[in-house]
Amino acid sequence: LVALVLGASGMVVGTADAAPNSSLQELVPATVEVQPRTDITFTLGAAAKIQAGAPEAVKPAEYLAGILRPSTGFALPVEQGVSAEGVVLLIGADARVGDHGYQLDVTPKNVVIRAKTASGLFSGVQTLRQLLPAKVEAKTKQAGPWTVPGASIVDYPRFAHRGAMLDVARHFFTVDQVKRYIDQIAAFKINYFHLHLADDQGWRIEIKSWPELTKIGGSTEVGGRKGQFWYSQAQYKDLVSYAQDRNITIIPEIDMPGHTNAALASYAELNCDGKKRPLYTGTDVGFSSLCIAKDITYKFVDDVVREISAITPGPYFHIGGDEALSTPDADFAKFMGKVLPIVAKHGKTTAGWHEFIKTTKDITAVPQYWGTTTSNADVAAAAKRGNKVVMSPANKIYLDMKYNKNTKLGLNWAGYIEVKDAYSWNPGSYLSGVGENAVRGVEAPLWTETIKTSADIEYMAFPRLPVAAELGWSPSSALNWGQFAPRLGAFGPRFKIQGINYYASPQVPWQ
């Protein structure tokens, strides 16, 4: 088996030229290299096992088994070992796949996925899912055969950060709704999930030392619906571990000093005039600010960052910092000068919307570019110093922008974004002065002023979230709309089986 695997990985590789309609031609994000092997196929049978060749392989093996069992109806026990028929997950791979890539080799008896880390194995598992027939995604037993085309794949990400963001502040989404979205993004090798946990309209995470934040600030949302719209710390931890089990790191965001009306409505002392603000259920931005001059503001920030950091295993804390239109520039700089050391004190690396980056020389800070122009002097200067930028240009990859003028959901302040528009930019050369090496990755934010249900989330995210995933993962040489559109179109049946309410863009030849 080992000799066969090594032999396969040494083959000359190229883009897929397998038989038409082979699942090898329908992978999103596109793989780095795929070598079809038309002489063989592998069929997953009732006696198959999912074998973990190392302790790190157990989680991805369990995850794969969890996907395959309902639709195949097979037992698919997860076992240690590398010899039985089935899927084998091994730690140890070619150096070129790096820490997050994988190799996948199909043999008549096995699918062998190899990686240096569990993260790489997870990505290989997502590829295997896509190589199997679409009905493998069903939650009920389906008829086989469960055949995988013969191939050797070598694959690794272009960028370290492939992110999705969900705004749970404008409209609240339950733990189960958030998990549903996490499941959907994981399938496209998204590895960061950014939760926008506080804004003018709502405070969504329990802070034990400031209980009114959720009691008052978490009591409503855009439109004025009333409820207990927040996550307890236990629920947040559950989300963190659910994401972790899918190779996803959660990035919590508390937006400040603007976008803070929910906090200002909860505690009078956070306001400069000492008076509570009324709750806000509209959709304006830029009217609120924490009181920059008061000491209590920094006690508040310290407590919030401390409590959230303690239950966040990931390295990042996102401080927002966008659209602080009611905070004078000098105050904004003063505020960030105090807040960034608080984030560091609690062991986290600061991420933020790009406006904050002009206030710091810390090259570990991560600015998230959300502008609509292709030049930004502050971000370019930071990139020159060594900061790595997450790219979320609003006119390209904001999932809350309407597809066209007839789209019922969403906003259009950054324009209409059809699927082809979302695909047609290069994150590594989009922003002047921010080249490939200065880009940490791509993130697709979904703001929820108009988004209320899981069906709404899916309509805006699918298929543009898979677009973002490909821009973040696949080599720039693989990015080609003419080839992407049919690959994406092949996901029609898969989305339907999963009950994903996707936008059937006329630009895409859906199967």
Q: Interface residues with ligand TNX (CB under 6 A)?
A: 285, 322-323, 353, 370, 394, 398, 400, 411, 447, 449
Sign of CA dihedral 180, 184, 189, 190: negative
Rg (CA), the chain: 23
- Give the Cα separation of 298 and 293 in Å (integer): 10
Looking at the Cβ atoms of 212 and 323, the one nearer to ligand TNX is: 323
- Work out how close the CB of 461 gets to ligand TNX at its nearest, in angstroms, rounded to a whole number: 14
- Give the Cα separation of 471 and 165 in Å (integer): 16
User: CA–CA distance from 402 to each of 18, 409, 459 (Å)?
Assistant: 36, 7, 10
Looking at the Cβ atoms of 56 and 255, the one nearer to ligand TNX is: 255
**Residue 23: both structure tokens together:** 């699942």
- Give the Cα separation of 400 and 417 in Å (integer): 9
CA 353 to chain centre: 16
Contact 185, 465 (CB under 8 A): yes
- Work out how close the CB of 355 gets to ligand TNX at its nearest, in angstroms, rounded to a whole number: 8
First to last CA, the chain: 36
**Residue 33: both structure tokens together:** 């290299």
- Give the Cα separation of 211 and 230 in Å (integer): 12
User: CA–CA distance from 68 to each of 37, 72, 73, 78 (Å)?
Assistant: 24, 6, 8, 12
Contact 500, 184 (CB under 8 A): yes
Contact 113, 124 (CB under 8 A): yes
- Work out how close the CB of 442 gets to ligand TNX at its nearest, in angstroms, rounded to a whole number: 15
**Residue 254: both structure tokens together:** 């508390």
- Work out how close the CB of 274 gets to ligand TNX at its nearest, in angstroms, rounded to a whole number: 27
Looking at the Cβ atoms of 445 and 472, the one nearer to ligand TNX is: 445
- Work out how close the CB of 32 gets to ligand TNX at its nearest, in angstroms, rounded to a whole number: 32
DSSP state of 268: G
DSSP state of 34: E
Amino acid at position 361, single letter: K
Looking at the Cβ atoms of 317 and 484, the one nearer to ligand TNX is: 317
Helix 233-244, helix 175-186: angle, nearest 10: 20
Q: Give me the catalytic one of 85, 212, 269, 323.
A: 323
Amino acid at position 311, single letter: I
- Give the Cα separation of 36 and 153 in Å (integer): 8
- 460: enclosing H helix or E strand: helix 454-461
- Work out how close the CB of 196 gets to ligand TNX at its nearest, in angstroms, rounded to a whole number: 8
Looking at the Cβ atoms of 260 and 454, the one nearer to ligand TNX is: 260
Contact 311, 240 (CB under 8 A): yes
Contact 159, 479 (CB under 8 A): no
**Residue 29: both structure tokens together:** 């994000």
- Work out how close the CB of 372 gets to ligand TNX at its nearest, in angstroms, rounded to a whole number: 10
Looking at the Cβ atoms of 26 and 322, the one nearer to ligand TNX is: 322
* Beta-sheet strands, E only, within 254-377: 316-318, 349-353, 366-369
- Work out how close the CB of 323 gets to ligand TNX at its nearest, in angstroms, rounded to a whole number: 5
Looking at the Cβ atoms of 13 and 285, the one nearer to ligand TNX is: 285
Amino acid at position 146, single letter: W
323 is catalytic: yes
Looking at the Cβ atoms of 380 and 411, the one nearer to ligand TNX is: 411
Looking at the Cβ atoms of 116 and 161, the one nearer to ligand TNX is: 161
- Work out how close the CB of 262 gets to ligand TNX at its nearest, in angstroms, rounded to a whole number: 13
Q: Which sequence positions are flagged as catalytic?
A: 323
